[in-house]
Amino acid sequence: MSDKILFVAANARSLIANRGDLILQLKQLGHDVHALIPDYDFLPEVEDLGISYDLIQLSRTGVDPWSDFRSYRMLKRLIRCYNPDIVYSYSIKPVIYGSLAARACNVPMVAAMITGMGYLFTGETLRQRLLRRVASMLYRRGLSAADRIFFQNPDDLALFRSLNIITGRDEHKIVRTNGSGINLERFPQSPAPAPPEAPLAFLMIARLLQDKGVREFVRAAEKLHSSYPEVRFQVVGPHDPTLPHALPAGEVEQWKRNGVVEFIGGVKDVRPYLKTCSVYVLPSYREGTPRSVLEAMATGRAVITTDTPGCRETVIEDDNGFLVPVRSADALASRMEAFIRSPDLIAAMGRNSRKLAEEKYDVRKVNSTIMEAMNVNGTNGSETASETISDVEIKVKEGERHG
């Protein structure tokens, strides 16, 4: 017996890149899959998923109660039209309003995934503190309507408990996943270039936001450049000044003029950049589970990332990379220099990254956990059904959706 499953998406990019394998696997198992997608950044590549969808008015940010109420009413109307067996929401507003709307429509299974805490939980400005209180209250209401709550790392779960968003009566709903998983066929292992065959190259993939640690990456690169002028530093990802915590345009332009770090911008496919880098770096302040790190691990790259929620789960210290303190350009530069001085570490740690990706983050294993928790029929066949997912090329502006 097949299920009708409705995704309430955060945006088109994340639906394609982060949920695409799950959607394709569900379809291959014979399930009827649909999606509700915010209209503000719709991408025609959604068509490649082969599912029906409707566009909804759901703002990415903002706390306009009337606007959010209209979104909630639209969600209820569309959920009633689809009449799904399962509603699966992710990211803050879809989780809150999608879960409440699904419960109001008596959907049998309401699932919510916490994919990260966002900029509200990475700073202590007065505005962030106030909005954090509002978000906590709304999360509490939304998750009370859910039957399953997926967490991608233990720190986010601990935070939700400490804020009383999750209480004792919710504990039976909680399911831990290893991020959203990574398609190991789409990101095959490849040898990392290293001296003397090629110049050593450090790569970062992220939107140009303050809390992604771009500033720390640039400062670390500038610190190393005078001693190691042959080493390359690259950042792949777009700059959208309208996003909260976007880096000032003038600062980004100054970095480009200095020329120490090469800014590529948003790209359709990050794999060529991963293939030509030696070490992957993500100095983020907080994540759910950073997809770009999983892609780098699958490719077989040593990783430097921060000892912070979400990021710390991806690195075993001195095994597949290094963890550094948040907001410390000096510590980051020191660990980058360790690879410059001992390039033999690059291949060894890269192999360990690939092994960890295979053991922990294989998308087939992650999807199996999700489907089993939602009582999706045909879960036992998921391993076989997912074998051909890599044959379906999901066309998405990957550089635009990282982070």
Mean pLDDT by 10 residues, the chain (403 residues): 93 94 96 95 91 91 81 97 98 95 98 82 72 88 97 93 92 95 97 86 96 97 97 96 88 97 95 97 94 98 96 97 98 98 96 98 97 81 36 39 40
What is the predicted pLDDT for the residue at 400?
A: 38
Helix (H, G, I), strand (E, B) or coil at 43: coil
Which homologous superfamily does the CATH classification assign to the domain defined by 201-358?
A: Glycogen Phosphorylase B; (3.40.50.2000)
What is the predicted pLDDT for the residue at 162?
A: 92
What is the predicted pLDDT for the residue at 402?
A: 41
What is the predicted pLDDT for the residue at 2?
A: 86
* CA–CA dist 313, 233 (Å, integer): 25
Q: Which residues pair with 5 in a beta bridge?
A: 33, 86
What is the predicted pLDDT for the residue at 160?
A: 93
Print burial letters for 169-205: b (CB count within 10 Å at least 16), e (below 16): ebeebbeebbbbbbbbebbebbebbbeeeeebbbbbb
What is the predicted pLDDT for the residue at 125?
A: 74
What is the predicted pLDDT for the residue at 66?
A: 86
Q: Using the 8-state DSSP alphabet, how is residue 145 labeled?
A: T
Q: What's the angle, vertex CA 150, arms to CA 48 and CA 320, rounded to 5?
A: 80
What is the predicted pLDDT for the residue at 382?
A: 39
What is the predicted pLDDT for the residue at 64?
A: 76
What is the predicted pLDDT for the residue at 123?
A: 63
72-81 long-range CB contacts below 8 Å, 24 or more apart? 72/97, 72/100, 72/101, 75/8, 75/36, 75/101, 76/101, 76/104, 76/105, 78/36, 78/54, 79/6, 79/105, 79/107, 80/105
Q: Write the CB contacts of 147 (distance below 8 Å, at least 6 apart in sequence).
A: 109, 110, 111, 173
Q: Do domains 4-181+363-388 and 201-358 have the same CATH topology?
A: yes
Residue spans per domain, the chain: 4-181+363-388, 201-358
Helix (H, G, I), strand (E, B) or coil at 1: coil
* CA–CA dist 17, 24 (Å, integer): 12
Instruction: Count Cβ atoms below 10 Å from residue 208 Cβ, excluding itself.
Output: 26
Q: Write the CB contacts of 69 (distance below 8 Å, at least 6 apart in sequence).
A: none
Is 279 within 8 Å of 293 (Cβ atoms)? no
pTM for this model (two decimals): 0.89
Instruction: Count Cβ atoms below 10 Å from residue 9 Cβ, excluding itself.
Output: 25
Tell whether domain 4-181+363-388 is in CATH 3.40.50.2000: yes
